[in-house]
Amino acid sequence: MSNQLSRRQFLWSAGAGVSALALAACVPATLPAAQPDAAPAAEPVTLTVWSSFSGKNGEAETELVKRFNESQSNVVVDYQFQGNYEETAQKVTAALQARTAPEVSLLSDVWWFKFYLSQNLLPLDDLLSAQNIDLADYQDSLINEGVRQGKHYWMPFARSTPLFYYNKEKWAAAGLPDRGPETWDEFVEWAPTLLQKEGDELKVSAFAHPDGASYIAWLFQGVAWQFNGSYSDPDFTMRMTDEATLEAGQFYKDTVHNYGWAVPSKDISSDFINGLTAASMMSTGSMGGIKANATFEFGTAFLPKKYQFGCCTGGAGLAILASTPAEKQEAAMSYIAFVSNPENTTYWAQNTGYMPVRKSALQSEAMQSYFVEFPQFKTATEQLALTRPQDAARVFVPNGDQIIGSALERITVQSDDVAVAFADVNAILETEAQPVLEALRAIEG
Amino acid sequence: MRRFSAAEKREWGLFALLVSPNLFLLGVFTYWPLIYNGYLSFVRWDLLSPVKIWVGWSNYTYLFTSPDFGAILFNTLFFTLGSVVALCVLGLAVALLLNQKLRWRNSARSVIFSPVMLSGAAIGIVWIYIFDPRYGLLDVLIRLAGMRSPNWLLDPNWAMLAVIIVHVWKNLGYAVVILLAGLQAIPKELYEAAGVDGAGSIARFRAVTLPGLSPVLFFLVLTSILAGFQSFDIVKVMTEGGPIRSTTTLIYALYQEGFVAFNAGRAGVASVLLFGIMLVFTIVQFRYSEKNVHYA
The pLDDT score that the predictor gives to residue B49 is 80
Bridge-based pairing of strands A262-264 and A207-209 is: parallel
How many Å lie between the alpha carbon of A370 and the closest alpha carbon of chain B?
A: 36
Radius of gyration, CA atoms only, chain B: 24
B240–A402: do the CB atoms touch at under 8 Å? no
Comparing CA positions, the residue from B119, B113, B122 lying closest to residue B175 is B113
Give the mean pLDDT of B36-43. 94
Which ipTM was obtained for this model?
0.80
How many whole angstroms separate alpha carbon B207 and alpha carbon B191? 9
Residue of A120, A203, A211 with shortest CB distance to B243 = A211
First to last CA, chain A: 70
Residue of A86, A120, A201 with shortest CB distance to B260 = A86
The pLDDT score that the predictor gives to residue B67 is 83
How many Å lie between the alpha carbon of B60 and the closest alpha carbon of chain A?
A: 16
Give the helix/strand (H/E) hosting A211: none
**A145-149: Cβ within 8 A, 24+ apart:** A145/A109, A145/A313, A145/A317, A145/A389, A146/A112, A146/A317, A146/A319, A148/A116, A148/A444, A149/A444
The pLDDT score that the predictor gives to residue A24 is 46
Residue of B46, B47, B244 with shortest CB distance to A410 = B244
How sure is the predictor about B2, in pLDDT bands with cuts at 50, 70 and 90?
A: low
A398–B262: do the CB atoms touch at under 8 Å? yes
Instruction: Look up residue B136 and give its amino acid.
Output: G
B47–A97: do the CB atoms touch at under 8 Å? yes
How many whole angstroms separate alpha carbon A195 and alpha carbon A88? 38
Return residue ranges of chain B for CATH 1.10.3720.10. 71-291
The pLDDT score that the predictor gives to residue B292 is 58
CB B98 within 8 A of CB B105: yes
Tell me what the pLDDT averaged over chain B comes to.
Answer: 89
Residues of A within 8 A of B30 (CB-CB) are: none
Q: Where are the alpha helices (DSSP H) in A163-283?
A: 168-173, 184-194, 216-226, 243-257, 268-273
B260–A402: do the CB atoms touch at under 8 Å? yes
B261–A402: do the CB atoms touch at under 8 Å? yes
How many Å lie between the alpha carbon of B3 and the closest alpha carbon of chain A?
A: 35
What Å distances lie between residue B164 and A126, A141, B47, B120, B234, CA to CA?
Answer: 55, 47, 32, 13, 9
How many Å lie between the alpha carbon of A444 and the closest alpha carbon of chain B?
A: 16
How many Å lie between the alpha carbon of A153 and the closest alpha carbon of chain B?
A: 17
Which positions ≥6 away from B162 have C-beta within 8 Å?
A: B127, B131, B152, B153, B238, B239
How many whole angstroms separate alpha carbon A210 and alpha carbon A213? 8
How many whole angstroms separate alpha carbon A1 and alpha carbon A4? 6
A399–B134: do the CB atoms touch at under 8 Å? no
The pLDDT score that the predictor gives to residue A427 is 95
Measured between CA atoms, the residue of chain B closest to residue A114 is B48
A212–B49: do the CB atoms touch at under 8 Å? no
Instruction: Write out residues 195-234 of A within 8 Å (CB-CB) of B.
Output: 201, 203, 211-213
What domains can you pick out in chain A, each with its CATH number? 45-159+315-380 (3.40.190.10), 162-313+387-444 (3.40.190.10)
Which positions ≥6 away from A410 have C-beta within 8 Å?
A: A416, A421, B244
Least confident span in A20-24, B235-239, B275-279: A20-24
How many Å lie between the alpha carbon of A93 and the closest alpha carbon of chain B?
A: 6
Chain B residues with CB within 8 Å of chain A CB: 25, 44, 46-49, 67, 128, 132, 134-135, 148, 153-156, 240, 242-245, 256, 259-263
Residues of A within 8 A of B242 (CB-CB) are: 211-213, 409
Within 10 Å of residue A34's Cβ, how many Cβ atoms?
Answer: 5
Bridge-based pairing of strands A196-198 and A201-204 is: antiparallel
Tens of pLDDT, residues B63-87: 899 888 999 999 999 999 999 999 9
Sign of CA dihedral A28, A29, A30, A35: positive
CATH homologous superfamily of domain B71-291?
Answer: MetI-like (1.10.3720.10)
Size of interface A-B (CB pairs under 8 A): 67
A398–B46: do the CB atoms touch at under 8 Å? yes
The pLDDT score that the predictor gives to residue B291 is 67
Phi/psi of residue B125, nearest 5 degrees: -65, -45
Mutual angle of helices B137-144 and B120-131, in 10-degree steps? 40
How many Å lie between the alpha carbon of B244 and the closest alpha carbon of chain A?
A: 6
Among A96, A266, A276, the residue to mutate for chain B (most B Cβ within 10 A): A266
- Residuewise pLDDT in 10s, chain A (445 residues): 345 555 555 556 555 555 554 444 444 444 444 444 444 456 899 999 999 998 889 999 999 999 999 999 999 999 999 999 989 999 999 999 889 999 999 999 999 999 999 899 999 999 999 999 999 999 988 999 999 999 999 999 999 999 999 999 999 999 999 999 999 999 999 999 999 988 888 889 999 999 888 899 999 999 999 999 999 999 999 999 999 999 999 999 999 999 999 999 989 999 999 999 999 999 998 998 999 999 999 999 999 999 999 999 999 999 999 999 999 999 999 999 999 999 999 999 999 989 999 999 998 999 999 999 999 999 999 999 899 999 999 999 988 999 999 999 999 998 899 999 999 999 999 999 998 998 899 888 8
Residues of B within 8 A of A266 (CB-CB) are: 128, 132, 153-154
The pLDDT score that the predictor gives to residue A220 is 97
What Å distances lie between residue B232 and A75, A445, B85, B178, B227, CA to CA?
Answer: 40, 42, 19, 23, 10
The one-character DSSP state at B260 is I
How many whole angstroms separate alpha carbon A206 and alpha carbon A268? 12
